[in-house]
Amino acid sequence: MCTSSCHVIKRGLAVAGFLVLTSCGGGVGTSGPCALMSCGGPPSNITVFAAASLQPAFDKIAVRVKSQYYLATTFNYAGTQTLTTQLIQGAQADVFASADTVHMTTVQNGGLVGGDTRVFAHNKLEIAVERGNPKRIRSLADLARSGLVVVLADPSVPAGKYAQEALANAHVTVHPASLEPQVTGVLSKVAFGEADAGIVYVSDIVTSGKVDGIAIPDTQNVIADYSIARLNSAWNRAGADEFFAYVLSSQGQAILSGAGFDTV
């Protein structure tokens, strides 16, 4: 038979259990920190396949998401075409963020998208030059000058395709020294003095701090539409939806804006 002191102990344990649940965000099944796992345990995790140009902004978003939702994010950053190929070949991911809508449509047509697709940011092109612009590059037309070392992203990459469109708009023919598999390769070669110039995104110039940017007129420029979706292969659908929502939230949009993107 339980004594009066025994009943006191049981009530104490019940209250303690209630406090643990409520401290995890209000109880089982609620959203917010600790909602996806036991409070005090390791964070829930998602895998995000994202275009390389998103890394500075998405790394900051991941810090906020981990703090707000107790959700850790593992990123695979690469050229959008590489990510698309990996997904079609069966790679597992929870979220896909593309630097265009064409590759997102390819993934969607392959039956790999598990929810809505949304355009979450826009980007424009800019000419990247060495700090101080020693070659005195002022426009896309200057990229055709003899003796100038120019690198571009491969046309299979959204940034490369956009660069070709911008050069066509400006009626300029460029013979690049190399075609990089992702736009960050273009940025790196200019930053390290391996190239005199390249065409990258405005966001790359803003976040790099290692190159100068030369604006491209709107009449020649191209707008990149970035899209995002949760994938059917998602192991953590709730976490994927939290990340998706945060990118489109005012907080996520502010981070993207600070990184040089135009928000939606």
**pTM for the structure as a whole:** 0.83
Are 149 and 198 part of one and the same domain?
yes
Are 134 and 106 part of one and the same domain?
no
Are 229 and 114 part of one and the same domain?
yes
Under the banding of pLDDT at 50, 70 and 90, the label for residue 115 is confident
229 vs 35 pLDDT, higher one: 229
Under the banding of pLDDT at 50, 70 and 90, the label for residue 1 is very low
**Does 209 map to a domain?**
yes
Strand order of the β-sheet with 262-263 is 71-78, 44-51, 95-98, 224-231, 113-123, 262-263
Are 141 and 64 part of one and the same domain?
no
CATH code assigned at 135? 3.40.190.10
Per-residue pLDDT of 138-147, as tens digits, reads 999 999 999 9
119 vs 25 pLDDT, higher one: 119
Q: In which domain, by residue range, is 111 found?
A: 44-121+224-263
Are 80 and 160 part of one and the same domain?
no
- Assign 36 to helix, strand or coil: coil
Helix residue spans in 148-225 (DSSP H): 158-169, 183-191, 202-208
Are 100 and 179 part of one and the same domain?
no
**pLDDT recorded at residue 104:** 98
The mean predicted confidence, pLDDT, of the chain is 88
**Does 25 map to a domain?**
no
Cross-strand bridge partners of residue 230: 95
Nearest-angstrom CA–CA distance, 2 and 16: 20
Are 117 and 231 part of one and the same domain?
yes
115 vs 144 pLDDT, higher one: 144
Name the domain count of the chain: 2
What phi, psi does 71 have (nearest 5°)? -125, 115
Under the banding of pLDDT at 50, 70 and 90, the label for residue 41 is low
pLDDT at 19 over 50: no
Are 98 and 110 part of one and the same domain?
yes
Are 177 and 234 part of one and the same domain?
no
Nearest-angstrom CA–CA distance, 66 and 64: 5
